[in-house]
């Protein structure tokens, strides 16, 4: 983020995506009504390259290692907008 002309912070999308890629991290957005997850950043680190940048909840569960599927079920629960979610799970090929 940088300070803009009117004293407001501005989000630098390019710098943010570069930082996510360098950290092998990704941002995700989920629309539960459409059953679509969209990813930006290091989607290859998530083993999503064949599906990136969008996939369904079922695809995420199918790519997750069996021992981590309960974590994914919790990750995919509908929550109030803006609620922080932190999850760590392993995926096939990742």
Q: Give residue-wise pLDDT tens across range 28-43.
A: 788 888 988 887 766 6
Which stretches does DSSP call E strand in the chain? 2-3, 9-10, 26-31, 36-41, 54-55
Predicted local distance difference test score (pLDDT) of residue 27? 73
**Residue 77 contacts residue 61 (beta carbons within 8 Å):** no
Task: Note the CATH number of domain 26-75.
Answer: 3.30.450.310
pLDDT exceeds 50 at position 50 = no
**Residue 18 contacts residue 24 (beta carbons within 8 Å):** no
Mean pLDDT on 50-72: 82
Other CB atoms within 10 A of residue 80 CB:
5
Predicted local distance difference test score (pLDDT) of residue 45? 61
pLDDT > 90 fraction of the chain, expressed in percent and rounded? 7
Domain ranges in the chain are 26-75
* DSSP code, position 73: H
pLDDT exceeds 50 at position 16 = yes
């Amino acid at each position: 983020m940088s300070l803009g002309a009117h004293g407001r912070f501005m989000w630098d999308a390019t710098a943010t995506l570069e930082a996510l890629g360098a950290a092998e991290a990704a941002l995700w957005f989920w629309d539960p009504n459409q059953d679509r997850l969209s990813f930006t950043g290091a989607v290859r680190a998530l083993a999503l390259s064949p599906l990136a940048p969008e996939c369904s909840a079922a695809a995420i569960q199918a790519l997750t290692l069996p021992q981590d599927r309960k974590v994914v079920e919790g990750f995919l629960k509908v929550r109030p907008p803006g609620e922080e979610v932190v999850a760590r799970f392993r995926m096939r090929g990742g």
